Amino acid sequence: MKSKQALKNIFSVILMQFAMAVSGFILPHFFITVYGSAINGMISSVTQFLSYLSLVEAGISAASVLGLYVPLANGDIDERNRMLSYTKKFYFHSGILYTLLLVILMIVYPIIVKGQADSITTRLMILVLAGSNLVDYYVLGKYRVLLTADQRLYVINNVQTLGTFLNVAVSLLLIYFRENVVIVKGAATLIYVLRSVIVIVYVRRKYERISFDYPCEKGAANNVIPQRWNALFHQVVGVICNNTDIVLITICLGARSLIEASVYYVYNLVNTTFSSLFNSLSNALVPTFGELFALKKDEELKRAYSTFEYIFLMCIAVLFSCMYMLFLPFVEIYTKGATDADYSRPLIAVLFVVMGVMQSIRIPSLTMICAAGHYKQTQYRALAEAIINFTVSIVLIFKLGIAGAVIGTICSYAYRTTDCIVYTSRHLVNGTLKKSLLRVLRNVLVSVVMCFVFSRFINGNVAGWGSFVLYGIVYAALTFVAVFAVNFLWEINEMKLLLNKVKGIVRK
């Protein structure tokens, strides 16, 4: 296992997620207070609709990364270039289709939100927010695929971190001078272009005889990029499950749909920050595990997976315990000054915590499924998740509003998380089911106890950012100690192996 590369990827992910969290928490606050909840809701809603359009990527990234593992491990430059050339071709075709669908969205979306936002501003916003995707399809995508497969995701992450901080600074400056919201968002797209240039220069200098113009044989695409359509199937399901809520809110909740979309966005902000961190860590490790699968190093894979799951579930226990205890105080402080919407909703806060936990528990097992390339084998299981999500959400949203949409997502996550854990134990890393379930149960119980003990001290005590940070540090420290102690006592040998692994990496 390439510990050094994996460690670089992990640290770069943590730094990138910190930058994105800073951006995600600071900028929406000013969009709400300066431009209003309707504008913030429109930005959030448009972003989710664009996620649906991004399905034209057609699983290219995941399938191409999977197909590059062997040629990169063997140093086969010709096969690497052949794979990258097909990847470039597919991305270009996807970009054309994306552009056509984007034009349709610019026509239809202003009709859906008629009367809630200016149509010209809405169309310009759609175009600006789609800018980064257009750059990805036509320029950056093939470079990102190569770096991901070669376990150099840290290059992209580090560039994105710098770009994110630059975007925050430029956006705050433009907001301070009360520039049009479209100009503010347009600045982010320009910064994304600059980030792309840095990545391209790096790849051109780093890789010997790199070429994206290898002759492509007609009709050979499915052999060159295996499981492309199976990867697409999972991508479709993922987009449906992750974006159904806000799309249904926009369509189903009538004249206040953008206001409710803004409320959903604020509550989802914390959940998205955690889930993005966990998913990015998973993506950083997929190539590492993928190489172990490709080289059939079963014992090393089993040990690595056990350590990964052990650490991951402890992190979930600590972070979501703190999220539960501080969620509502955060929302109330964050939206202070916004009078056009009711943001203080305790039930929604609890539901979002449950949703985040159900979504995150599956990540270690889902990482194995992606690393092994078991897209075809699990596609109908993923379809069941999407059906549950959409069906329950559409039934409940008219009666319960945002809560109904979130409950639908929780139901689908509960099913799929259980399925992923069972599938991984039966087909990928044999004999891990009992251990995995005991780890989940143990960490959930510790979290519940910690929340029960400390939540009674919150009411009335967290009134500003100073007290919020202070209580957050105290809760995080105490919860970490409790989670660490319980997991250490329950699995002493696993903790010793983990600590020895850390010491070995530090010495290197």
Q: How far apart are CA 155 and CA 147, in angstroms?
A: 8
pTM as predicted? 0.72
Contacts of 381 (CB under 8 A, 6+ apart): 416, 419, 423
CA distances 379 to 229, 235, 430, 431, 478, Å, are 10, 10, 20, 23, 41
Kindly state the tokens that stand for 265: 């966005």
Phi-psi domain of 372 (left: phi exceeds 0; alpha: psi -120 through 50; beta: other): alpha
Q: How far apart are CA 483 and CA 495, in angstroms?
A: 12
Distance of CA 249 to the CA centre of its chain: 21
What are the boundaries of each domain within the chain? 1-211+218-226, 231-508
pLDDT per residue, tens digit, the chain (508 aa), is 455 676 777 788 788 878 888 888 888 888 888 888 888 888 888 887 887 777 666 567 777 887 787 888 788 888 888 888 888 888 888 889 889 989 999 999 999 888 888 889 999 999 999 998 898 888 888 998 899 888 888 898 899 899 999 999 999 999 999 899 999 999 988 998 888 899 999 999 999 888 888 776 654 444 555 555 666 666 667 767 777 788 888 888 876 788 888 888 889 888 888 877 787 777 777 777 877 787 777 788 888 888 889 888 999 999 999 998 888 888 888 888 777 778 888 899 999 999 999 989 998 998 888 888 787 788 888 889 889 998 999 999 999 999 999 999 999 999 999 999 999 998 888 888 999 999 999 999 999 998 888 776 665 567 788 888 888 898 899 999 999 999 988 888 887 777 776 666 555 5
Kindly state the tokens that stand for 233: 């199937």
Please report which residue ranges of 455-490 form alpha helices under DSSP H. Answer: 465-490
Q: How far apart are CA 170 and CA 124, in angstroms?
A: 19
